[in-house]
Chain A
Amino acid sequence: DTAVSQTPKYLVTQMGNDKSIKCEQNLGHDTMYWYKQDSKKFLKIMFSYNNKELIINETVPNRFSPKSPDKAHLNLHINSLELGDSAVYFCASSQDLAGGTSQFFGPGTRLTVL
């Protein structure tokens, strides 16, 4: 029973297309995140939602739009995909925003933009 799941696992698309990645957590957590991991393995936070409210919005192009229909879901929609968007995107969740809370990560979605 997967705690944090993402779909799809692989996504190959052409430049200029619009795509979405879905994330669901069944841990009952209040907080969810999106991270981008580039080819150099750096993990960079993109967004964080707490109780469906946007908390963190890092310096991410506005082509990226997160949507949280409920506490268990945080989807990522990307418009007008560019080559530089190719990366692995990880969804994560944590109990809440309290200090010291650990995060649970999904398996990742490998996005390849051609």
Chain B
Amino acid sequence: LAKTTQPISMDSYEGQEVNITCSHNNIATNDYITWYQQFPSQGPRFIIQGYKTKVTNEVASLFIPADRKSSTLSLPRVSLSDTAVYYCLVGDSGMIYNQGGKLIFGQGTELSVKP
């Protein structure tokens, strides 16, 4: 069961790059790594997903080392509107049906962006 660990909180300033690291030492071969963003009083929103190496989209980049035991979400040039809780999720929902696998959300990292 791939449990995840993230920093509880981080502070940053507008325009800076923010890197949030998630540890998942027991990640399984079929597990994907997914990051979600959650604003107050809203449901989590998908940001990015990867399996290995680096993935980039219009919002963020995701760096995954070769051993896949951790991953880093990188937010370029954050703004005040990036203030939110960021969750790291590790799992393979495809395994759930057959082997009772689970989708585990980390505790979340509360990012505060200041002017």
Contact = CB atoms under 8 A, between A and B. Distances in A.
Interface of A: 4, 31, 33, 40-45, 48, 50, 55-56, 58, 90, 92, 94, 97-108
B56 interface: no
Contact of B44 (A31, A90, A101): A90
7 contacts: A42-B108, A56-B102, A56-B103, A97-B93, A98-B94, A100-B32, A106-B43
Interface range for B: 20 to 34
Contacts of A43: 44, 87, 105, 108
Contacts of A90: 43-44
A99 B30 contact: yes
Given A43-B87, A55-B97, A56-B96, A99 B107 contact: no
A50 B44 CA distance: 20
B41 interface: yes
B46 A104 contact: yes
Contacts, number: 69
Query: What are the 5 closest A-B residue pairs judged by CB atoms, nearest first?
Result: A105-B43, A99-B94, A43-B105, A100-B32, A102-B46
Interface string B29-69: 01010101000011111100101000000000000000000
A41 B96 contact: no
Nearest to B32: A100
B93 A41 contact: no
Given A99-B94, A101-B94, 15 more contacts: A40-B107, A43-B44, A43-B87, A45-B102, A48-B103, A56-B103, A90-B43, A94-B93, A97-B97, A99-B95, A102-B34, A103-B44, A104-B46, A105-B43, A105-B44
